[in-house]
Amino acid sequence: SSGINAEWPLRPGIVTARAGKDLVSSLTSGLLTIGDRFGGALDESARQFSSNFHKGKTPLEFVNEMRNSHQYIQGIGHRVKSLNNPDMRVTALADFAKANFPATPLFDYARQVEKITTSKKPNLILNVDGCIATLFVDLLYQSGSFSTEEARDLIDIGCLNALFVAGRSIGFIGHYL
């Protein structure tokens, strides 16, 4: 998944590289911009979708609750991609998961949420972060390799953002080189 997430460069890392700084300085300047406003979507998407799914909330209840509390659903929405211009990374990940995962109940739930959100606006699609997050959670719960408690712990400690950081690191290093 790091290759799927490596396409979007952060400007500070590029500027640092162009300023003649070394590789580590360029990499860390980019990494230090990752936080709640950029890079937290994987973990928060996993938490939001998992929490509502496991509480038994319908997709409509989840969407309405988020709207009424004026909160974004992390993993939903894209500036460029839409129903009319789908993100092929999401398509590829979905096809792979459907063919290879034991089950994808959280991803299926997210797709139901997407049907509701795109009825309001066509760019409120399940984006690549939401896709990765829900499929990763499905893998944790459905693979048989983790107990329910272990899966929850991995989600709670933020292991998904490690995927984001790994992918971005590849991109930063590529810009440096």
pTM for this entry: 0.83
What does the block give as tokens for 160? 């998904």
The confidence score (pLDDT) of residue 1 equals 41
Q: How confident is the model at residue 21 (pLDDT cuts 50, 70, 90)?
A: confident
pLDDT one-digit tens code per residue, 28-53: 888 887 876 677 789 999 999 999 99
The confidence score (pLDDT) of residue 174 equals 84
